[in-house]
Amino acid sequence: MPPRALTPSGIILVDKPAGPTSFAIVAAVRRRTGARTGHAGTLDPFATGLLLLLSGAATRLQPRFVGLGKRYVTEIDLSARTSTGDREGEIIEEHDPPAEADLDAQLEEFRGAVDLPIPAASAVKIDGERAYKLHRQGIAVEMPVRTMHVHELRLDGYDAGVARLELHVSSGTYLRAIADALGGHCRSLRRTEIGPFSLAEADPELIIPPEDALARLA
């Protein structure tokens, strides 16, 4: 197979729909452009929102974009925990959701640096194997704990046990882990920003020149 083209080169912002994997989105863009294509962070299949893709020669710039902070909007169902921390898992625990006053107190514990186990259904490697593959095989493993940084966390609504949260977090923060620690699971998850790049700019046909994208990181 011939090497993938180094052009067009630049950054592509995509609004991922629910359903396909991030890798399927990358593959679709690669087929359309014919260029080498990578990403600066994935979203779970059920999640929607901003993906930052790198095309052509710009793929070498991936390290500059991988560690950017991110903003999300999520709905967390606080009446049940699931095996995956999201709506696609099996319910493993049901309970009465907290009162709003109690929820406010709980949320305070998740602002700043928070140590939480990485979800079992994640792409982290355990003894050389992706954790989500082990999870699908029913193999229970002790997931590593990661320090996640929650810069902002705002309760935007609470109704019938479902909390709508807006968060600004560090790269590598799993919102499913936060949802599980709160005693619930993510019913929806949408990424709205990656560093200085906004969902409002998403256009799979538009390629931002590398120099323009890098200038925003200054």
| Exposed/middle/buried for residue 186 (C-beta within 10 Å: 0-12, 13-18, 19+) | buried
User: Which of the 8 DSSP states describes residue 144?
Assistant: P
Q: Is 44 a residue of the active site?
A: yes
Residue 186, classed as helix, strand or coil, is strand
CA distances from 92 to 21, 23, 76, 183 (A): 25, 29, 15, 11
Give 133-142 contacts, CB < 8 A, sequence gap 24+. Answer: 135/83, 135/84
Structure tokens at 69: 């902070």
CA distances from 55 to 8, 11, 65, 104, 197 (A): 6, 6, 13, 43, 16
User: Which of the 8 DSSP states describes residue 45?
Assistant: T
The span from the CA of 113 to the CA of 8, in Å, is 39
**CB 53: neighbour CB atoms within 10 A?**
24
- Which residue in the list 15, 44, 102, 104 is annotated as catalytic? 44
| Residues involved in catalysis | 44
